[in-house]
Amino acid sequence: MPSKSISPTGCLSSEDAALFYKLWMGLLDYVNRKHKIEPSLGRLITPAGLDIKKLLPIREKIWGNVGIIDEYTAYEKKTLSADEMAILKGWKNMVRGDFIVMKHLKKHSIFMTNDSSPLIYGVVGIMSTWEEMVPKDILPTTVQCVLLPFKEVILYDGIIKGGNVRFGPSYSKSFNDAYRASKALYGIITTFENLDDVLAKYDAGTKRRKHILDDILVDTYDEDAQISAWHDYFEDKLSFPFEAVCEKQLICSPLLPGEKLTVTGLVKFADSGENIVIMIEWQNRKFAIPLEQISTVDTSAVFSEAIEDWKYWVAAGYFC
């Protein structure tokens, strides 16, 4: 396994920056020469002084067909080390698109995909930090770039577009809400090592969100209507009593994780506020707790799926 490459300042060490450019410039040079894209560039050895506009078609050739990386590694198999081969082959899993740069942290900057159900990446710079390239006083802002795995961090391919769009307070609030929701559901992706697991969880979450919007909250346009729809859903899906276990500790409840209880009913819509509240029996006491605190025990899959629907909705920040 290659060693960690992150520096305390949010960019690569000078040694790893040199390694990145060795691999990246070598790949660009190979593709340019093989496909005769920009002959005027000559041999590509260093990024210093290069015309970015002339690099763009070469870069597009690579990310439009990442299989070309295999051709390059085969061509250079006698000169590339095993670790260098692994880095290059990892680039076939690149993530390309529009991102919202949300904030700069010590070890990385926060990039959020620009869509309705986003993912968050912690991205480092190469020789400069992202704060040097995209000052914090213009955040949040959008950039177009390609994210790459490099050893145990995520960086970009050295070319960005954008970074000069300013958003008003309402946009900033919606971005921050989306950021908090995505962080709660999927965390911050700082390495590609577990990316497949995160993406599988993300795909499952996206399907669950669609199910909630299409099957539970259809034709609801405010919070009262949504809570009412959730009550109707649980009245249809759940039957009482059933056994459950506390999944997490909440400040509003005496239960601790792992404690078993019996769920005896659903608190009426008029008495539950902006939440779904259940009545339980525990240690000879009867009281109400939020539904998201429990998991079912030895009950039907229908029960479990219904409760997981609600827990997803809460974790996504809609009813916190």
- Domains belonging to the chain, first-starting first, are 14-193 (no CATH), 212-315 (2.30.30.530)
Looking at every residue in the chain, the average pLDDT score rounds to 92
CA 79 to chain centre: 36
Tell me what pLDDT residue 304 has: 92
Tell me what pLDDT residue 166 has: 74
Q: What is the pTM of this model?
A: 0.85
Residue 226 parent element (H or E)? helix 223-237
Q: What percent of the chain has pLDDT over 90?
A: 80
- How many other CB atoms are there within 10 angstroms of residue 301's CB atom? 8
Tell me what pLDDT residue 27 has: 98
Return d(Cα 62, Cα 24) in angstroms, integer. 11
Tell me what pLDDT residue 71 has: 97
| pLDDT for residue 262 is more than 50 | yes
Residue of 129, 88, 90 whose CA lies nearest to 110: 129
| pLDDT for residue 1 is more than 70 | no
| pLDDT for residue 22 is more than 90 | yes
